Amino acid sequence: MSYLVDFETVSTVGLESSPVADALAGLRANEARYFRNKYDHAFTVSPAEQAPEVVERIAHILKEERGLEIAATPLEATSFEVEGLRMDYVFYQSGLSINVMYSIADGGKRAVGFKLADGMEVPEELAASFKFARQKSKLAGVIRGSYFVIKGQY
């Protein structure tokens, strides 16, 4: 069952098994607010097992581009298009959120973004390769984020 993320009343629906469920829910709500304000898009997520193609697409890009395999369990995923960009998101039990922004047009922006929910440690598989910048959010507390540019075609 899909869930329309409400950024006015933050809920842990679907994220209850995370040890940082409240912070992860705030991070998810922060993303929902961004897409509502910038693109007038309603951010809807589904349980990861109902969106295996999204989880697999992100895993494939991480493996091909950087040799990364995420150890955490995926809880939720979503995929949508806004203004010529395909956006894929996976929210993991550990508090990690990974998104892939992929321009549909050739030569457009293509990147993978990592965000860490407040209170979670940097995952071992990311610690050696990425530096995380901090940003404050009213919904999510302190978000730490990093990214890399996608070089291949997917």
pLDDT at residue 38 in the model: 96
pLDDT at 139 over 90: no
Radius of gyration of the chain (CA): 14
Per-residue pLDDT, averaged over 106-133, amounts to 94
pLDDT at residue 141 in the model: 87
d(CA 139, CA 70): 25
Helices (H) and strands (E) in the chain — how many of each? 3, 8
DSSP 8-state class, residue 27: H
Per-residue pLDDT, averaged over 65-87, amounts to 97
Residue 87 or 140, more confident: 87
Beta strand ranges found along 54-117 (DSSP E)? 74-82, 85-92, 96-103, 110-116
Single-letter amino acid code for the residue at 80: F
Whole-prediction pTM: 0.95
Centre a 10 Å sphere on the Cβ of residue 151 and count the other Cβ atoms it contains. 8
Kindly report, residue by residue over 14-66, the tens digit of the pLDDT.
Answer: 999 999 999 999 999 999 999 999 999 999 999 999 999 999 999 999 999 99
pLDDT at residue 36 in the model: 96
pLDDT at residue 122 in the model: 95
Centre a 10 Å sphere on the Cβ of residue 45 and count the other Cβ atoms it contains. 25
CA distance readout (Å), 75 to 50, 60, 97, 134, 150: 10, 18, 10, 24, 24
Per-residue pLDDT, averaged over 102-129, amounts to 94
Kindly report, residue by residue over 80-108, the tens digit of the pLDDT.
Answer: 999 999 999 999 999 999 999 999 998 89
Confidence category of residue 78, pLDDT binned at 50, 70, 90: very high
